[in-house]
Amino acid sequence: YLFGKKRATDVAHMVWKHIVQKGDTVIDATCGNGFDTLAMLNLVADDSHKGCVYALDIQKDALDKTSLLLEESLDSNEKQLVKLFNICHSKMEEVVPTNAPVRLVAFNLGYLPGGDKEIITRSETTLLALEAAKRIIIPGGLVSIVVYVGHPGGREELETVETFASRMSVENWICCKLQMLNRPSSPIPIFFFRR
Ligand code: SAM
């Protein structure tokens, strides 16, 4: 199911489909323009209006864009299943209830496409956010990370994610990486950590 997809985010969405269930709680740690948030909502929303997407971004502009996309794409019941927060993803545990069974935490690192290219995810806070994601994900859940390397700091952030992955306990986690080998200057690696 992976090979029909050209964009890294589409590949990530395909993998999410095999893990996330209707009624689940999931976190979009970098909601940006809202495309990942919308894809997640479509996976968790069910007829009884359970399911919840926590969508986080450090940039107010991104939350406005996500809000607009949701406004255009969802009915009012579905919209209520998305909770938007203008905070750093390293603080996800401050907004997601401690008893919430979180099955997916997704990161799409880098800058906001069409936005301010100076506002990027940074290794230090990405690392704290990955640690938080690791703490709150339920057994059977997934941490998904799409990494861009073309911008300043991108390669360093990739190294941070790789080092983090290589130190995860082999008893509790399966950590893997998908990478487009025929795009050497922008391989867009995708990491999946399955608990
Ligand atoms: N997932 C988005 C979508 O579907 O459109 C694209 C995300 S974009 C590549 C990366 C986003 O991460 C930007 O909107 C940026 O503002 C956000 N970001 C940067 N640092 C952050 C942080 N510490 N916490 C949360 N979001 C952050």
Take residue 165 and report the two structure tokens written for it: 């992955």
Q: Which of 53, 58, 104, 123 to mutate to test the pocket of ligand 1 (most atoms within 8 A of CB)?
A: 58
For ligand 1, residues with CB inside 6 Å are: 30-36, 56-59, 62, 88-89, 108, 110-112, 119-121, 125
Ligand 1 centre distance from Cα of residue 119 (Å): 8
Which CA distances in Å does 135 have to 53, 142, 165? 18, 12, 14
Residue 133 region by backbone torsions, left for phi larger than 0, else alpha for psi between -120 and 50, else beta: alpha
Task: Annotate 106-138 with b (16+ C-beta within 10 A) or e (fewer).
Answer: bbbbbbbeeeeeeebbbbeebbebbebbbebbe
Ligand 1 centre distance from Cα of residue 33 (Å): 8
ipTM: 0.98
Paired residues of 177 in beta bridges: 191
Take residue 141 and report the two structure tokens written for it: 């859940």
Ligand 1 centre distance from Cα of residue 156 (Å): 17
Q: In this structure, are residues 110 and 120 in contact, taking their beta carbons and an 8 Å threshold? A: yes
Give per-residue pLDDT as tens, 177-187.
998 888 777 88
Give per-residue pLDDT as tens, 61-114.
999 999 999 999 999 889 999 999 999 999 999 999 988 999 999 999 999 999
Ligand 1 centre distance from Cα of residue 171 (Å): 31
pLDDT surpassing 80 at residue 6: no
Q: In this structure, are residues 62 and 70 in contact, taking their beta carbons and an 8 Å threshold? A: no
Per-residue DSSP letter, 26: E
Ligand 1 centre distance from Cα of residue 29 (Å): 7
Per-residue DSSP letter, 7: S
Share of the chain above pLDDT 90, in %: 82
Rg of the chain over all Cα atoms, to the nearest angstrom:
16
Take residue 185 and report the two structure tokens written for it: 């200057």
Q: pTM for this one?
A: 0.96
Atom index in ligand 1 nearest the CA of residue 126 equals 23
How many residues are present in the chain? 195
Between strands 190-194 and 174-178, the pairing is antiparallel
